[in-house]
Amino acid sequence: MNFEPFDTSLIAQRLREQVAGLHSVGGAADYAAVKELAGFRTPSGYVIFAEERNTGKVPAAPCVTLQESVAQFGVVLALRHYKELRGEQMQPEARRLIGACRAALIGHKPPAPGSRVVSWLSGKVLDYDGGVLLYADLYELPYLLRKD
């Protein structure tokens, strides 16, 4: 790795390989292209880069060749939502797919030099209507920025 931001395509690839049941896994551009909830193909996933920050553990100095960073990314799932009289938002299939994504990512070490393991930070419902539920999990990955 070099001083480039973390490559979230590694996370998308992991989800494609490990989570059976998702029709597709795309990136931020794919997610942004959908203009309304009904336009999402369910079930599908989207990996979106959120932010990265310096941990401050490696002091800044002239000719720095190494910095520790933490990248945060979200995984947004477009899932089938069946409206119920009881008001439940997630059916067993939705919970299963959320759990499968978490199982594929929590503790995973992406194949990039300097990366550590992925940890889960939070999850929440972003939106829903009679047909589609958008659910997002936020993850964090410590890794080293280093000059090649």
Question: Per the domain annotation, does 90 fall within a domain?
Answer: yes
Helices (H), 4-143: 9-18, 28-33, 92-105
- Residue 20 within any structural domain of the chain: yes
Residue 61 lies in a domain: no
> What pLDDT does 68 receive?
87
Domain membership of residue 4 (yes or no) is no
pTM of the model: 0.88
H-helix segments, the chain: 9-18, 28-33, 92-105
Q: What pLDDT, on the 0 to 100 scale, is given for residue 45?
A: 97
Average pLDDT over residues 111-140: 92
pLDDT at residue number 146:
78
Q: Would 21 be classed as within a structural domain?
A: yes
What is the average per-residue pLDDT within 104-133? 92
pLDDT given for residue 57 in this prediction: 78
Element at 143 (helix H, strand E):
strand 132-146
pLDDT of residue 83: 60
Residues 47 and 73: beta-carbon distance below 8 Å: yes
Query: Domain limits at 14?
Result: 9-55+66-146
Domain membership of residue 79 (yes or no) is yes
Supply the pLDDT for residue 107.
98
Write the pLDDT tens digit of every residue in 36-74.
988 999 999 999 999 999 887 766 666 667 788 999 999
Residue 98 pLDDT: 96
Specify the CATH number for the domain of residue 126.
Answer: 3.30.2000.10
pLDDT at 1 over 60: no
Answer whether residue 127 is part of any domain: yes
**Is position 32 within any domain?**
yes
Based on the structure, what is the number of domains in the chain? Answer: 1
